[in-house]
Structure 1
Amino acid sequence: MSAHGQPFSMTARRSGPLRGAAEVPGDKSISHRALILGALSVGETRITGLLEGQDVLDTAEAMRAFGAEVTHHGPGAWSVHGVGVGGFAEPSQVIDCGNSGTGVRLIMGAMATTGITATFTGDASLNKRPMGRVTDPLALFGAQAVGRAGGRLPLTLVGAADPVPVRYATPMPSAQVKSAVLLAGLNAPGQTVVIEREATRDHTERMLAGFGAQITVEDGAEERTITLTGQPELVAQDVAVPRDPSSAAFPVCAALMIEGSEITVPGVSQNPTRNGLFATLVEMGAEIAFDNPREEGGEPVADLRVAHGPLKGVEVPPERAASMIDEYPVLAALAATAEGATVMRGVRELRVKESDRIAAMARGLEACGIRIEETEDSLTVHGTGAGGVPGGATVQSHLDHRIAMSFLCLGLAARAPITVDDASPIDTSFPTFGALMQGLGALIERAD
């Protein structure tokens, strides 16, 4: 069951061509960060295009609990009156981050170097996810975490009253871990340094600079070094949130699956640390045009034009994983409709997302008649070619929004309908998904 709504199933049936403009919501990663940095700034931060999915709404509520004034002015329009770096107040209630790993890890980082205590929890899915990857580096600043076995939520974090700066090499490519350390470094004296062997999405670095932090990024031959000077005064900003490439992936891949489809997706972020899926789709033979490239809110964006055409299986380079980690589920669904095998390696991180996404996609695809091969760190999908997916299954979403949406997209191209047992988690990141897809011509409906 979802933490924020009653479970319900959805069914997708073979559809005719998808046509029209897909106005996908604002970027979830940037929405979380805009609220948090607005709360850590002095003055009023005004945000447009904010994603109003449950994950982001939970972060907004958390910022209120820490003392910021967060106001909703209309669709996508919000303001945050911040309390400044080090100004968080101790919350009087437990912080419920729902389904959001990004939200809870970034918020823990933001409070870890302030001398306050907060308790965090989430839904059944989030409470299974490992938090030690964040609480371990936060302990280096002087913060203390007490939680369930394995460092899982519910968890109480005691912030460091006298934090020290940290130099930290991330053991795995994770923008959440990197961002948590950088946010903790804001209220530590001196310089906090994060070293990445593989570059991950850089929204935190871009936004910190935009809010006035002194931050440098150096790309070496084998690593990226990010250096943040602590205890700045962040200055409130106007933030225009671009559209989310991870959400755009669903109508894009659905259109590529269905013969005759032609859609546009305006204003999608083209941040180079997020565009691995689109590079992969082009390699598969996808017909995608990137029109009107421009910059919005400090992020590169473009309008996508997508048309159906034959696709072939490819081997996705493992070094591309960090730039498309959230898109592997829908890529796996699309790969089922391509000719030949699509091999995804270096994707172990998928095992600790909202669900074990490798296992969830593998079991669901098998139920739909697709041959797969799975290892701890890889997934291979043997495509049937256009029109060859049998379908006809009910698959488990495992409380994972991306698993649910991926199989609903696949159902639009399968010979028999595909039902997702619980589609309620979709509201955490893409609350308009059903209506948007129906508007393009997709046959998706609640099944109960």
Structure 2
Amino acid sequence: MTTIDLPQAENGLHGMLTVPGDKSISHRSIMLGAISHGTTVVDHFLSSDDCLHTIAAFKALGVEINIDEDQVTIEGKGGFQNFTKPNQPLDMGNSGTSTRLLLGLLANQPFDIEMFGDDSLSKRPLKRVIDPLTAMGAKVTATADNFLPLTLHANDELVGIDYKIPVASAQVKSALIWAGLQANNNSHLTEKLVTRDHTEQMIRQFGGRVKQAGLDIEVEPQSDFQSQHITVPGDISSAAFFIVAAICVPNSQVTLKQVGLNPTRIGILTALDKMGAKYEITNRSNTAEAIGDLTIRSQNIHALNLGAEDIPALVDELPLVALAATQATGTTIISGAEELRVKETDRIKTVTAELKKFGAKIEERPDGFVIEGKTQLHSPDVAVDSHGDHRIGMMLAIANLIAAGAGKLENAEAINVSYPEFWQDLDQLR
């Protein structure tokens, strides 16, 4: 466990920053590159703990992958069936994305594959993926409660599925898309709510076909993907920490370069719109994924209400929305966010407990929060704690800036899961 002194920003935050590559897209670039023909080159790759576990898994499956700073090259296997049996269990670390997506991608291999993860990941639910994959013909042995560790057993056939996904989860959807690409007939998936569509976008970028119409997705069997040269956009989930900091820390102005603006991911901007926040987007570009530069300044904001339909597009940013709400005029209500309870921590419980240390007036609800705004945050008398959750750790660092305090953060190493350069980038703006 690492405990650090949290930085302050006495004169606000100022400057220009390029945030690391999008975590979701970085994961998927390795997966598509591994099953494609030829050499895929990925620039601005996020070399975080989670993404490195995805790379290690594919290396164990016989894929040649090379890393040179933030550029990754993948020598594709030319299909789903050309991997080699790993000589040891695959270590998923803390990565739910790696685990759930690989369950679908590897569901039709001619050999057994074992997977395990750290203590936190081993408490995150997999039944939501295992059940539909089993209906497609996958063979999985997991713990009694469908947690890691597990074994994907050798399999020679997957069948298409007509399935209504009961949770709004891009990870579940993506796992079923991977399996559907390998099935012997089409699959039809219906989402509960629209979730991030990076898997669908990247399949098309690599020459594949996935049909989408509202909540409906049609997946036809295919395996002929062609290598690509990809530049990963900046991760809006990482940018969100500096967006909220710039709004809430007085005398701030920050520009974030080439941030991903995929419409299924910009829920944080939509939420800030509802709070009355103003920002500028310049240098827009629409390639495989929309990108642009974001400039944000300190300003007054007001409360908002968020419901279940809002959650999928900003599920990772909700702790930050809760923090921003402490500084907004009025009372904010967030509901329909019970998915937060099965993240790296129970984020509803953890956000409530940790923000209360700063003096926040926040109430835990079964599916969200009630937050009274315009609260003067103060430096905590005790250390705040990430509880091993990267996004909680970074949110608490921003809360400390707003509080203008001299707090301490326990379990600070968790931030490496998604943003190893967070402290250096924060220092660049102070």
| TM-score category, normalised to shorter length | over 0.9
Judging changes above 3 Å, is the alpha-carbon distance between structure 1 residues 13 and 304 closer, same or farther for their aligned structure 2 residues? same
Partner AA of 1:335 in structure 2? A
Deviation string 1:384-426 (CA, Å, 9 cap, x unpaired) is: 34xx112314222121000000011010011533322111011
Partner of 1:350: helix, strand, or coil? helix
Instruction: Choose 408-417 or 320-329, whichever is displaced more.
Output: 408-417
> Is the CA contact (8 Å cut-off) linking 2:53 and 2:92 kept in structure 1?
yes
Judging changes above 3 Å, is the alpha-carbon distance between structure 1 residues 10 and 144 closer, same or farther for their aligned structure 2 residues? farther
Give the CA deviation at 1:152: 0.9
Judging changes above 3 Å, is the alpha-carbon distance between structure 1 residues 430 and 167 closer, same or farther for their aligned structure 2 residues? same
Which consecutive unaligned segments of at least 5 residues does structure 2 have?
A: none
In the superposition, the TM-score normalised over structure 1's length comes to 0.93
Partner of 1:246: helix, strand, or coil? helix
Deviation string 1:110-160 (CA, Å, 9 cap, x unpaired) is: 101222211111112111111111111111121122222311111111143
What is the correspondence of 1:356-435 to structure 2 with a 5 Å cutoff? 356-385=346-375, 388-392=376-380, 393-435=382-424
Give the CA deviation at 1:182: 0.5
Which one of the candidate residues 256, 262, 267 is aligned to 1:265? Answer: 256
Partner of 1:29: helix, strand, or coil? helix
Match of 1:69 in 2: 64
Instruction: Choose 182-191 or 25-34, whichever is displaced more.
Output: 182-191
Whole-Å separation in 2 of the counterparts to 1:288 and 1:126: 36
Partner AA of 2:423 in structure 1? G
Corresponding position: 1:340 with 2:330: yes
Whole-Å separation in 2 of the counterparts to 1:439 and 1:306: 16
Aligned length: 428
Whole-Å separation in 2 of the counterparts to 1:270 and 1:317: 22
Which one of the candidate residues 300, 319, 322 is aligned to 1:329? Answer: 319
Q: Report % sequence identity.
A: 37
In the superposition, the TM-score normalised over structure 2's length comes to 0.96
In angstroms, what is the RMSD of aligned CA positions? Answer: 1.4
Partner of 2:245: helix, strand, or coil? helix
Partner of 1:324: helix, strand, or coil? helix
Which consecutive unaligned segments of at least 5 residues does structure 1 have?
A: 2-6, 442-448
Give the CA deviation at 1:329: 0.9
Match of 1:78 in 2: 72
Give the CA deviation at 1:14: 5.4
> Is the CA contact (8 Å cut-off) linking 1:111 and 1:159 kept in structure 2?
no
> Is the CA contact (8 Å cut-off) linking 1:44 and 1:81 kept in structure 2?
yes
Deviation string 1:161-203 (CA, Å, 9 cap, x unpaired) is: 1221222211010000000000111221221221112100000
Deviation string 1:20-42 (CA, Å, 9 cap, x unpaired) is: 01210000000000001111111
Whole-Å separation in 1 of the counterparts to 2:318 and 2:148: 26
Deviation beyond 6 Å, 4+ runs, structure 1: none
Partner AA of 1:312 in structure 2? H
> Is the CA contact (8 Å cut-off) linking 2:10 and 2:404 kept in structure 1?
no
Whole-Å separation in 2 of the counterparts to 1:107 and 1:400: 22
Whole-Å separation in 1 of the counterparts to 2:239 and 2:276: 18
Partner of 1:217: helix, strand, or coil? strand
> Is the CA contact (8 Å cut-off) linking 1:286 and 1:308 kept in structure 2?
no
Whole-Å separation in 1 of the counterparts to 2:94 and 2:321: 22
What is the correspondence of 1:36-435 to structure 2 with a 5 Å cutoff? 36-72=31-67, 74-83=68-77, 84-219=79-214, 224-296=215-287, 298-385=288-375, 388-392=376-380, 393-435=382-424
Judging changes above 3 Å, is the alpha-carbon distance between structure 1 residues 295 and 112 closer, same or farther for their aligned structure 2 residues? same
Partner of 1:86: helix, strand, or coil? coil
* Higher strand residue share: 1
> Is the CA contact (8 Å cut-off) linking 1:340 and 1:383 kept in structure 2?
yes
Corresponding position: 1:438 with 2:427: yes
Whole-Å separation in 2 of the counterparts to 1:15 and 1:116: 58
> Is the CA contact (8 Å cut-off) linking 1:213 and 1:228 kept in structure 2?
no
